[in-house]
Amino acid sequence: MKTLKNWTLAGQYTDHIELLVDERHLFCLYVLENTLFRVLIKRNGELALNRTWSIAPEADVPWEGRDRLSVAGFGLPGYQLQHDGETLTLATSHLRVTVHQPLWLEWEYCNADGDWQPLAADRPTSAYLLNAHGDGVAHYQRRYASERYYGLGEKTGDLERSGRRFEMRNLDAMGYNAASTDPLYKHIPFTITRRTDVSFGLFYDNLSSCWLDLGNEIDNYHLAYRRYQAEAGDLDYYLFFGPQVLDVTKAFVRLTGKTHFGPKWSLGYSGSTMHYTDAPDAQQQLQQFIQLCRQHDIPCDSFQLSSGYTSIGNKRYVFNWNYDKVPQPKQLSKAFHDAGLKLAANIKPCLLQDHPQYQQVAEQGLFIRDSESDRPERSSFWDDEGSHLDFTNPATVRWWQQGVTEQLLAMGIDSTWNDNNEYEVWDGEARCHGFGQPIAIKHIRPVMPLLMMRASLEAQQRFAPHLRSYLISRSGCAGMQRYVQTWSGDNRTSWQTLRYNTRMGLGMSLSGLFNVGHDVGGFSGDKPDAELFVRWVQNGVMHPRFTIHSWNDDATVNEPWMYPAATPMIREAINLRYRLMPYFYTLLWLASTDDEPMLRPTFLDHEHDERTWRETDDFLIGRDVLVASVVEQGQRQREVYLPDNGDGWYCFYSGQWYSGGQTIVLDAPLERLPLLVRAGAALPMSQRLGHVDISADDRRELRLFPTKGCGRSAGMLFEDDGESYGWQQDNALWLRWQAVSDNARIELTVAAKGHFKPAWQTLDITLPADETRELWVNGTRCNTYALS
């Protein structure tokens, strides 16, 4: 690679400046917001890819992609420019960048006192590199000992990424090691850098395979550095100032698109296993699941059909029903619907070479094309070879949506599970239609799953336009939160996986993927023993996505009743999830409207508390519930550090209060997950322990955990019909509360907004058992609030 060195000012515009570098390349500096700048290099004055699918600061991007040079949706506040000999400076009220000669950038932020402070800097020696002949770009920044690195989406190991090197190259990582395997399924080259006083985000908008080194690499000829390198495409990055980590995460979501607001039932327990649909009597096995849920009194809202329903022999063929296994798909769907359960069907974007429709699809030109011929590309897929569908071809999108509609939705399937969509096409020059502008696959591999899930979403929306859609996707890139819920892929059964999957989920959440979870119990390998399974379920019910899914080596099935002695503990954990359903649903609403992460590392709300920055097995679900998962075999007591929040924490079960900023030891019997609640919080809870049914959910509790002594706190509860877009016409209930307490009384003020009338009409307010202060609700001494 060749280092970019000498520059001159080539142009000044309202939103950016351009530098001519080495008399060949254009170096563009955009000022998009007061806290958001962008750097874009045009090699020889041109872009390798003139579109992006990740940047969506307003509405969704066009199918064919957003013009890479577009600044639509940004505030464009203007900037101050100073050009003084060997340096050039651009500044807003919050962020300032200085361009040095030879080329490297130095970033500063304006603190609360109005003083400019160092934020970030490029490596002064060889900061920007381009391959002299062909593809490949690199960017080197200074690395400081005081920095902590987070983000990168779905990655294994510790939540803090410092000192390691990572690769973005979407792979079907079956049975991965949750502590060390890399790369995995998703492509999100986004980092959060935490310094002692401030945080900033850095997102590289490049969809080719890339590497991010965060301190693993050392070179004697340079100061300590961090490195980004991509095999192809443009060097195009966004740098944005926090000042806190939460601000950075929210800014990244605003940059790449808001979280999809799915139906309420998507937060319920979802059953799944490869075993049922692989069985020769799949329909009978599936319908038996309904009976087993009833028999064991396990609430459930959906079931995910693994791909065995499409099989011919041992292989899988998308949009092909195996009528020997499932002779009556509509009857199957009806049986699930009658029981209150939805169905999600697995679909794959690659047609094996002997797929019944392969020749027809090939003749229509719907596959990605081989780089050296006009034939479809061929790649390894599911024990054979197949060709991947090209979702940059509108004809492919139409074919896919027809299959989703006729083969799934018309059969009574409610949702699509977009799987095996890593697009392992290793002929980098394989040609994609590109919506009329051909593109090599190396530039857009992660876009394919993004467009696949969008095609599925729009098919579902057209089929049932009055219902909010629910979709799942395993692979994707930044922006996938606009369409789907996701999970951490085909994990392996072990205590280590249970521990590190939690960190993976938190890493995804910091990176804008809020609606996430894991295959509870482990997908591959040995079946979990009873203790591991119980602890995994207890952990899983406190994640946004809760699915028990397996393909165990010994053909056993992970099910709530797999160990009779443990079934009561499993039932209690799942019941806890359903009691907390109003809280989870409010969190999903806040994620979609206010960009609030659902899963939260403890430091996210307690940055001032240095102890929260240590690696931990604890996490928050929402701001209010501290989850102390048990991830060690045989453990029956659990040390928990309580973040210093100023008000303290309550034990969820006993109501005992603890001050923050200390480590306590909680009993952790096998039948109970240690949980704490932030003092000042109020948890909306349901008494219904069954599948989501708005008409039957007729009791609502607000469990109030008041501040000790004098204090003030506030919160909200969101309710609607759970499935429509009625909230857009104010047909929802936004119930906001505020609590003010002193040593004698607790005054709760509750106010409702919106036209929705839930089945429950009275909110029962409960307090911890040892709370002796008087409770006043809207000026009356009572413990209820009645909807008017």
- Model pLDDT for residues 607-649, shown as the tens digit of each residue: 999 999 999 999 999 999 999 999 999 999 999 999 999 999 9
- Output the domain CATH number for residue 652: 2.60.40.1180
- The values of phi and psi at residue 400, to 5°, are -60, -45
Please tell me the total number of residues recorded for the chain in this structure: 788
Question: What pLDDT is attached to residue 788?
Answer: 80
Amino acid at 70: S
Residue closest to 488 by CA, chosen among 473, 478, 477: 473
Q: Do both 23 and 108 map to the same domain? A: yes
When the pLDDT of each residue in the chain is averaged and rounded to a whole number, the result is 97
Count: domains in the chain: 3
Phi then psi dihedrals of residue 678, to 5 deg: -60, 130
For residues 566 and 572, give the distance between their C-alpha atoms in angstroms, rounded to a whole number.
10
Mark whether 81 and 105 lie in a shared domain: yes
Shared domain for 662 and 717, answered yes or no, is no
Cα–Cα distance measured from residue 609 to residue 662, given in angstroms and rounded to the nearest whole number = 11
Same domain, 639 and 721: no
* Cβ proximity of 686 and 700 under 8 Å: yes
Parent domain of 720: 687-786
pLDDT at residue 671 tops 80: yes
Per-residue pLDDT of 429-441, as tens digits, reads: 999 999 999 999 9
In angstroms, rounded to a whole number, what is the distance separating the alpha carbons of residues 552 and 107? 51
Give the C-alpha distances (Å, rounded to integers) separating 54 from 57, 155, 751: 9, 19, 39
Q: Specify whether 648 is located in the same domain as 748.
A: no
Is the residue at 697 inside a domain? yes
Rounded (10°) CA dihedral 253, 258, 261, 262: -80
Residue 710 lies in a domain: yes
User: Mean per-residue pLDDT for 535-544?
Assistant: 98
Does the pLDDT value for residue 134 go beyond 80? no
Q: What do you get for the CA distance between the two ends of the chain, in Å?
A: 70
Taking residues 763-777, report their average pLDDT: 97
**Residues in Cβ contact with 115 at an 8 Å cutoff, skipping those fewer than 6 apart:** none
Query: Could you tell me if 14 and 135 lie in one domain?
Result: yes
The amino acid that residue 690 corresponds to is G
Neighbours of 763 (CB within 10 A): 23
Query: If residue 241 lies in a helix (H) or strand (E), which one and from where to where?
Result: strand 236-241
Average pLDDT over residues 709-718: 96
Is the whole model's pTM more than 0.85, yes or no? yes
Residue 26 domain-assigned (yes or no): yes
pLDDT tens digits, one per residue of 208-229 = 999 999 999 999 999 999 999 9
pLDDT of residue 757: 97
- Give the C-alpha separation, 624 to 776, whole Å: 22
DSSP-H helix ranges across 152-281: 245-256, 274-278
Asked if residue 201 and residue 74 are part of one domain, the reply reads yes
Neighbouring-strand partners of residue 519: 547
- Tell me the pLDDT band of 297, cut-offs 50, 70 and 90: very high
57: preceding bond cis by omega (within 30 degrees): no
Query: Does some domain include residue 665?
Result: yes
Is the domain of 723 the same as that of 616?
no
Predicted pLDDT of residue 85: 84
Exposed (0-12), middle (13-18) or buried (19+): which is 716, by Cβ within 10 Å? middle
Q: pLDDT over 90 for what percent of the chain?
A: 98
**Per-residue pLDDT reduced to its tens digit, 168-194:** 999 999 999 999 999 999 999 999 999
pLDDT tier for residue 155 given thresholds of 50, 70 and 90: very high
Cα 120 to Cα 108: distance, rounded to the nearest angstrom: 7
Same domain, 34 and 118: yes
Q: Look up the CATH number of the domain holding residue 238.
A: 2.60.40.1760
Q: Pick from 256, 271, 296: which residue ends a domain?
A: 256
Instruction: Name the domain boundary from 652, 678, 704.
Output: 678
In a domain, 221, yes or no: yes
Q: What strands, in cross-sheet order, belong to the sheet with 774-777?
A: 711-719, 733-741, 745-753, 774-777, 780-781
At position 161, the amino acid (one-letter code) is R
Judged against a pLDDT cut of 80, whether residue 108 lies above it is answered with yes
Same domain as 215, residue 106: yes
569: in domain:
no
One domain, residues 201 and 135: yes
424 is a domain residue:
no
| Block residue for tokens 């395993």 | 474
Which residues fall within 8 angstroms of residue 476, CB to CB, at 6 or more apart?
185, 186, 187, 421, 446, 449, 450, 453, 484, 486
User: Nearest to residue 38, comparing CAs of 6, 81, 84, 70?
Assistant: 70
11 & 91 share domain? yes
Residue ending a domain, among 256, 272, 290, is 256
pLDDT mean over 272-282? 95
- Grade residue 264 by pLDDT with cuts at 50, 70 and 90: very high
pLDDT tens, 724-757? 999 999 999 999 999 999 999 999 999 999 999 9
Give the strand order in the sheet containing 700-704: 682-686, 700-704, 762-766, 784-786
225-230 and 210-213: which strand pairing? antiparallel
Whole-number Å distance between alpha carbons of 359 and 351: 10
For the cut 90, the answer to whether the pLDDT of residue 135 exceeds it is: no
- Two tokens at 221? 């000829």
- Whether 774 is covered by a domain: the verdict is yes
The rounded distance, in Å, linking the Cα atoms of 161 and 211 is 13
Quickly list DSSP for 137-194: EEEEEE--TT-EEEE-SS--S-S--TT-EEEE-----TTB-TTT--S-SEE--EEEEE
